[in-house]
Amino acid sequence: MFQNFKTKKFWTDGTGSIFLAIFVALFIRWAFVEAYVIPSGSMLPTLLIHDHIFVNKFVFGLRVPFSQKFLFKTEGPQSGDIVVFKSPQKLTRFFIKRVVGTPGDKVYYEEGHLYVNDKLVEKRVPVENKSDFDWLRSEDFQGYQTPDQYVHWEEKLSDMSYSVILPKMQLPSDIYGPYIVPEGHYFMMGDNRANSSDSRRWDEDKRFVPYEYLVGRAMHVWLSCEETIPVVKFLCNPLTIRWKRFFHSVH
């Protein structure tokens, strides 16, 4: 009985409780939810640089630890979903993009216009009270570019509406495809269409993202800031926190 008491105390009050807490945290991170930080502007205006997001990993199935094999899979992401995945170009890198083509889809992109299965994806100027564009800063754009050189659009794919930005001056050479998405693969694009490394621009043999490379679907922003602490790049500068983006849904 005394031994049982010591064992219980070890797991509730002692060192064992620390190991148990670490195990539970790692289990949740492996199977259910993981946090990521947005490092670039490829998903503007939907996701901002230094947005901290939670990603639902269980939504695509349960993976064998430390491997790309799944214990079980779901139906996979739908067109319009924002997903985190391993880069087909380099598996040690993680990207976040929007799914615009699912297995069997025909995808074609021409001068700011997206076609899926030979149909033009609906695009319109968003309603006046839609504030996605208000978050954009000149610092988030490459080189000499500024927000006033872009147009904010609302695109609709598979009954899902979301924001994209396009430069006011489209390049005539901005043409990609058509591509047929292979079985078990997905075609990804960033919402900042002119400044995104995605399936349009990747090497031919690594253009599509296999199901096995999927990590999870973005859920919501839990922290956001305009600047990080210089010495510790992954920590937000508390003086630049974007308070209104807390628990902002990602869609």
pLDDT at 52 over 80: yes
Separation of alpha carbons 17 and 168, rounded Å? 58
Query: At 115, which helix (H) or strand (E)?
Result: strand 113-116
Q: What is the pLDDT of residues 158-170, one digit of tens each?
A: 889 999 999 988 7
Which listed residue (57, 79, 86, 97) is catalytic?
Answer: 97
Question: What was the pLDDT predicted at 28?
Answer: 62
d(CA 227, CA 238): 9
Concerning whether 97 is annotated as a catalytic residue, the answer is yes
Among candidate residues 42, 79, 196, 224, the one labeled active-site is 42
- Whole-model pTM: value is 0.87
What sign does the CA torsion over 77, 85, 195, 234 have?
positive
Q: What is the pLDDT of residue 27?
A: 60
Tell whether the model's pLDDT for residue 129 goes beyond 60. no
